Chains A and B, each alone.
Chain A
Amino acid sequence: MKFSYEKTSSLPEAMALYAEKGGRHPVLAGGTDLIVQWRSGARKVTGFVDIGSVDELHGIKDCGDGIEIGALSTHADIMANKLISKYFPALADACRSIGAVQIRNRGTIGGNIMNGSPAADCPPVIMVLGAELLAQNILGERWIHIDNLFTGYRTTSFTKDELLTKIKIPKLASGEIVKFYKVGTRKAQSISKAVMCVRAKIVHGGIEDIAIAIGSVAPTVIRAKGTEALLRGHVITSALIDQAILSLEDEVQPIDDVRSTAEYRKFVCGSLIGKFLKEV
């Protein structure tokens, strides 16, 4: 059976082509993960719907209350973008941690999200930022909150004919801090052992609010709600930091795999929340 390669620069046509195959032919954007999965045999693929030329999926713009990022924005685009460096530098940090120059010039934020890897670097950031994702099909569109996106390992709540077209991130309130951390085997070309993003509002040394999102420690990216609750409303003291470290180590339930052990991952998560609390 011949490989099917379909390409269009029209978004409606792309949605029609994707729906026609019942979602069985994945959309191809940058291809930095998908092409590797296909060529290695890790994923059985009999065709692609190449959406890389759909111009309206590019672009990053300020829409007043938030920033809208086109799903085809590459990691390099995001790193270079002035709106991102002004409003969400942590997202640029996440993109900078991905792969290497050659990967970042091709890989897209849409792909990083929809590929669905629990180790993906952008999801923890957009999760603490409360992002919304625009799912479009030939019948219409709907916004899905990031909290409702991942339903299981490499599974999203998108239907078989929906494409991710935009990511909208609400601007932060004043006084909020967002920090991104990634621990991998080395600083480039590494899938994380643990990847974390923390967002907090600190007022006079007290944690008015906090959100902690972590990847690579569960089948999907998760929020550490137990540890958040422990911290919320409290002044940062070294006793609280110690409690938070123990709480987070206990709260995450990672597995042993080729990249790391559960024990090390728990340790890293504890270390990172400790680092965040000591440095704010």
Chain B
Amino acid sequence: MKNNMKIKISIEINGKDFEIEALPETRLVDLLRNDLKLTGTKEGCGEGECGACTVILNGAAVNSCIILCGQLKTGDRLITIEGLSDGDKLSAIQDAFVKNGGVQCGICTPGMIMVAYALLEKNGSPTRFEIAEAIAGNLCRCTGYTKIIDSIECASAAMNGGKR
């Protein structure tokens, strides 16, 4: 990889193939928001502390503000908040947040939902403690977290067909 030149990589974003072209030191959050116009992912701190920029990379929740495009490789699979809904139809997690008061201003919400998604993929029936641990890297200034935990608990129940 040479200096000053843009890199080209083929990655999958929300199930679709993308040919990315960017300077390697471009942050993933900027690629998503500015280049690809996927503005659902938010930037809260730019330091990996608040979790607002959380996306799923190869199955793992990560802070996109501290990942550089150069760190990606061909074949990487990215999921952003846009990938969870199907047109106007919300996913079970999004629906649970809406129904349980898990959203106020909404700025932390995409990050919270991506972390919840990653958690529920690995652990279909998390305890409230496991949910709290999972969202420990996501800050919310509005809700006091309780309704966010309620929302994720409700989502896991819904995804288990109503059973816990």
Contact = CB atoms under 8 A, between A and B. Distances in A.
B61 A102 contact: yes
A227 B133 CA distance: 35
B1 A5 contact: yes
Contacts of A99: 48, 137
Interface in B1-57: 1, 3-4, 23-25, 46-49, 51, 54, 57
B62 A35 contact: no
B3 A5 contact: yes
Nearest to B119: A101
Contacts, number: 88
Contacts of B47: 36, 39-40
A103 B60 CA distance: 10
A3 B5 CA distance: 10
A53 interface: yes
Contacts of B73: 53
Interface in A26-40: 28, 31-32, 35-36, 39-40
B67 A189 contact: no
Range of interface residues on chain A?
Answer: 20 to 34
Q: Which of A5, A105, A189 has the largest number of chain B CB atoms within 10 A?
A: A5
B156 interface: no
A187 interface: yes
Given A36-B47, A47-B3, A5 B70 contact: yes
Contact of B66 (A4, A32, A47): A32
Q: Which 10 A-B pairs have the closest CB atoms?
A: A100-B137, A188-B136, A5-B24, A105-B60, A2-B4, A4-B3, A102-B63, A35-B66, A7-B1, A100-B136
Interface of A: 2-8, 28, 31-32, 35-36, 39-40, 47-48, 50, 52-53, 76, 99-103, 105-106, 187-189
24 contacts: A2-B3, A3-B23, A5-B1, A5-B23, A6-B1, A6-B3, A7-B70, A31-B68, A32-B48, A39-B47, A40-B47, A48-B25, A50-B1, A50-B24, A76-B60, A99-B137, A100-B51, A100-B137, A100-B138, A101-B134, A101-B136, A187-B136, A188-B136, A188-B137
